[in-house]
Amino acid sequence: MRDPSGRVLENWHQLIATSAPVDIVPPTLVGNGPFELDAKGEYRCPQGHVLGLNLISELWVKKESHDGSDLVRTRQLIGTRMGVLHPEPRLLISPRLFRLLRELKVGRLVAEVAHWG
Tell me, yes or no, whether 14 lies in a domain.
Answer: no
**Are the C-beta atoms of 111 and 91 separated by less than 8 Å?**
no
pTM of the model: 0.84
Instruction: Report if residue 11 sits inside a domain.
Output: no
What is the number of structural domains in the chain? 1
Residue 15 domain flag = no
Distance between CA atoms of residues 64 and 59, nearest Å? 15
**pLDDT tens digit string along 34-60?**
888 888 989 999 999 999 999 999 999
pLDDT at residue 15 is higher than 90: no
d(CA 20, CA 94): 14
Residue 3 located in a structural domain = no
> Which H or E run contains 99?
helix 95-103
Q: How buried is 52 (Cβ within 10 angstroms: 0-12 exposed, 13-18 middle, 19+ buried)?
A: buried
Q: Residue 45 is part of which domain span?
A: 20-117
Give dist(CA 53, CA 56) in Å, integer.
Answer: 9
Is residue 5 one of the residues assigned to a domain? no
Domain assignment of residue 7, yes or no: no
DSSP 50: B
> Could you tell me if residue 10 is inside a domain?
no
| 80 falls within a domain | yes
Lowest mean pLDDT among 16-20, 25-29, 72-76: 16-20
pLDDT in tens, 53-105: 999 999 999 999 999 999 999 999 999 999 999 999 999 999 999 999 999 99
Query: Which pLDDT does position 4 carry in this prediction?
Result: 76
Amino acid identity for residue 53 in this structure: L
